[in-house]
């Protein structure tokens, strides 16, 4: 094997290893988000009620029902009625999970926002976005940084990307 072939082979091997590690990292972030989202311990519901809500007119999700919950960090930004404070900025470590139901008994998807500004997949506002089917398959991975979601979540009257107050006052 010539020196040129050896260099080419080595560079190709390094590129493949780097690509594989990056893919593993993406999958790891998505899996961790889903695992955190499925564990409801320490979460509180929007308006402190776990009743299913009908899909809002402003939603582009296909599922007809939803409910939204906040981890103990994110819930610090809820008022006494369980609604998001008017000018809230969710702190680091906040997790907000929107459970999207196919019918009144079956969760079809999870839409997840996790505030982690140091995460490689965080958007400009520090949110890591996850959009997964209940079976664990990924609809929109964290590596996309919410590209398919941000335009809707940026509409008027959003509070740090949240629209619950707007559509469910």
* CA 135 remoteness from chain centre: 16
Residue 19: inside a domain, yes or no?
no
Measured CA distances, 60 to 65, 78, 145 (Å): 12, 24, 18
Residue 51: inside a domain, yes or no?
yes
Tell me the three-class secondary structure of the chain, residue by residue: CCHHHHHHHHHHHHHHHHHHHHHHHHHHHHHHHHHHHHCCCCCEEHHHCCCCEECCCCCCCCCCEEEEEECCCHHHHECCCCCECCCCCCCCCCEEEEEEECCCCCEEEEEEEEECCCCCCCCCCCEEEEEEECCCCEEECHHHCCCCCHHHHCCCCCECCECHHHHCC
Residue 61: inside a domain, yes or no?
yes
Residue 10: inside a domain, yes or no?
no
Q: Report pLDDT for 21.
A: 42
Which pTM was predicted?
Answer: 0.84
Residue 110: inside a domain, yes or no?
yes
Residue 142: inside a domain, yes or no?
yes
Residue 16: inside a domain, yes or no?
no
Nearest to 23 by CA among 33, 31, 13: 31
Residue 157: inside a domain, yes or no?
yes
Tokens of 146: 């919410």
Q: Report pLDDT for 19.
A: 43
Domain that holds residue 145: 37-167
How many structural domains comprise the chain? Answer: 1
pLDDT tens sequence across 99-145: 999 999 999 999 999 999 999 999 999 999 999 999 999 999 999 99
Q: How far apart are CA 169 and CA 167, in angstroms?
A: 6
- Tokens 């009625």 belong to 81
CATH number of the domain within which 157 lies: 3.50.70
Q: Which of 35-39, 72-76, 90-94 has the lowest mean pLDDT?
A: 35-39
pLDDT tens sequence across 17-36: 444 444 444 578 999 999 99
Nearest to 88 by CA among 80, 77, 97: 77
């Amino acid at each position: 094997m010539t020196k040129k072939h050896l260099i080419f082979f080595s560079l190709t091997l390094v590129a493949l290893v780097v690509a594989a590690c990056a893919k593993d990292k993406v999958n790891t972030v998505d899996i961790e988000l889903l695992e955190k989202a499925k564990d409801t311990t320490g979460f509180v519901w929007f308006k402190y009620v776990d009743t299913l809500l009908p899909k809002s007119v402003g939603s582009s999700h296909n599922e007809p029902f939803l409910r939204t919950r906040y981890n103990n960090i994110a819930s610090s930004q809820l008022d006494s009625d369980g609604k998001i404070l008017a000018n809230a900025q969710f702190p680091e470590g906040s997790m907000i999970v929107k459970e999207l139901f196919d019918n009144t008994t079956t969760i079809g998807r999870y839409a997840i926002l996790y505030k982690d500004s140091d995460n490689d997949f965080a958007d400009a506002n520090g949110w890591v976005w996850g959009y997964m089917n209940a079976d664990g398959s990924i609809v929109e991975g964290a590596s996309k940084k919410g590209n398919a979601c941000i335009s809707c979540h940026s509409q008027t009257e959003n509070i740090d990307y949240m629209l619950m107050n707007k559509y469910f006052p």
